[in-house]
Amino acid sequence: MPQVVVITGGSRGIGRATALRFARQGARLVLVARDEEALASAAAECRARGAEVQTASIDLALADGPQRAADIALLRFGRIDVWVASASVFSYGSIADTPDAVRDRVIETNLTGHMRAARAVLPHFLARGTGTIVFVGSLYAQVAGPYVSSYVAAKHGLLGFTRSLRQEMLAHRGIRVKIVLPASIDTPIYQRASNSTGRTPFPLPPVVSADRVARAVVRVTRGPRHEVGVGAAQFVTRPLQFFAPRVYDRFIRTLQHALGLRRRPAPTTTGAVLAPQHDPGAVSGGWSRIPLRRPR
């Protein structure tokens, strides 16, 4: 029987790449995101690969958003086998310059929304005695970086929440709680970020494809591992922060100034954090084609 998979943030980036992977396996999909245009485009790509797809234009940051998504999935397909929590927004700015509304929405989308999603889907999993939740976290759940404090705080919180939830579910062997921790991934999230730095943001190198993360998400739903990192930066930054925290602090600040926030001027914007930016959406942000250094 085909799996029923709910993917939040399924219209772009990692969520969309994951949807395409599950579609090729014949899963029945519920794609959840704010932008109806991007959702329709992602759904069409999944249907072209043979999947049955339901879309739900829902803001996961709203208090009733996750429950509405779960209700739509159950109404359409009668059950949920896998919930992939991939919805995410990004912001650049110092702690002083980041607007309160942006900070709060980053945390509501990247942390609180996923906590509410777990609460929405768990009663269904418990009643059936089976189900898998996969949270898409970040390397920033394990390290920190300057000018991305809201995102770092949310992802640290998501990792802690995942571990706590997994501990609570130990008595329910059929329910699995997983998290995938990508480093810098080639997705549109950076172009759509809130930015109050005055500089042009770029993902920190090395950048890897969203499909590589999607493969990890699909694999972790079947395998024994609870936490999976994706990206070469995992093997450098985590040990450096642990064994030489002062060196790491200087290193990450220098890297962010040199490669993460280029000197090319950029306007202040809230990006897609507070409201969706409507377009057909895409898996890639085109970052893998951009040279490591460009003229300033």
User: Over the stretch 122-161, which tens digit does the pLDDT of each residue have?
Assistant: 999 999 999 999 999 999 999 999 999 999 999 999 999 9
pLDDT of residue 235: 72
The string of pLDDT tens digits covering residues 210-256 is 999 999 999 999 999 999 999 877 678 889 999 999 999 999 999 99
Structurally, at CATH architecture level, domain 4-274+282-289 sits in: 3-Layer(aba) Sandwich (3.40)
pLDDT digits (tens, 9 = 90+) for 202-219: 999 999 999 999 999 999
- Lookup: tokens for 233: 């930066």
Residue 62 in this model has a pLDDT that exceeds 90: yes
Among candidate residues 140, 151, 190, 248, the one labeled active-site is 151
The predicted structure's pLDDT at residue 292: 54
Whole-number average pLDDT of the chain? 95
- What digits encode the pLDDT tens for the residues 173-183? 999 999 999 99
- The token duo for 230 is 């994706």
Instruction: Name the band, by pLDDT with cuts 50, 70 and 90, for residue 293.
Output: low
CA separation for the pair 268, 256 (Å, rounded): 18
Name the phi and psi angles at 279, rounded to 5: -165, 175
From residue 225, alpha-carbon distances to 34, 62, 115, 161 in Å are 31, 31, 21, 17
Q: Pairing mode, if any, of strands 199-201 and 261-265?
A: antiparallel
Residue for token digits 């969309």? Answer: 16
140 is catalytic: no
Amino acid at 83: W
Q: Which residues contact 290 (CB under 8 A, 6 or more apart)?
A: 202
Q: Global pTM?
A: 0.95
**Rounded distance, CA 3 to CA 80, Å?**
8
Q: Look at residue 289 in the predicted model and tell me its pLDDT.
A: 74
In the predicted model, is pLDDT for residue 294 greater than 50?
no
Q: So what's the pLDDT on residue 114?
A: 98
Q: Is the pLDDT of residue 276 over 90?
A: yes
Positive or negative torsion for Cα 276, 277, 283, 287: negative
97 contact partners, CB below 8 Å, separation of at least 6: 196, 197
Amino acid symbol at 190: Y
Quickly count: other Cβ atoms within 10 Å of residue 92's Cβ: 29
